[in-house]
Amino acid sequence: MGGPALEVFKFATYVALPLLVMAHYGNPEWYRNNVLPYKEKIFPPEENIVRNLPNDQVTLKQELARIKAERLQAKAEREAAAAAAAASERSS
């Protein structure tokens, strides 16, 4: 087998490797530079998260109707803007 020197080397590796990984990835500066930018890309900002969800059927239906109305209004505005842009291109 490898002998006592190999066992000492393996033990030192088993102890040192996790400590070195913790020292590198646990650094607040590394976290700020490498993790937080991706967190902002993946997860929505805290102010856009809805915390008070409707818990009864009537309130839920009202909220869904409101969301649908907002989407229809935004779609109508986009279509009106597209029609106005098309009309201005025809007149040019």
pTM: 0.45
Q: For residue range 18-46, what is the model confidence (pLDDT) as tens digits?
A: 999 999 999 999 999 998 898 888 887 87
**pLDDT at residue number 54:** 84
Q: What's the CA gap between 68 and 60, in Å, rounded?
A: 12
Helix and strand tally (H, E) in the chain? 4, 0
Task: Kindly report, residue by residue over 41-75, the tens digit of the pLDDT.
Answer: 888 787 878 788 888 999 999 999 999 999 999 99
Q: What is the distance between the terminal CA atoms of the chain, rounded to a whole angstrom? A: 88
Q: Are the C-beta atoms of 60 and 54 separated by less than 8 Å?
A: yes
Residue 43: phi and psi, rounded to 5, are -100, 145
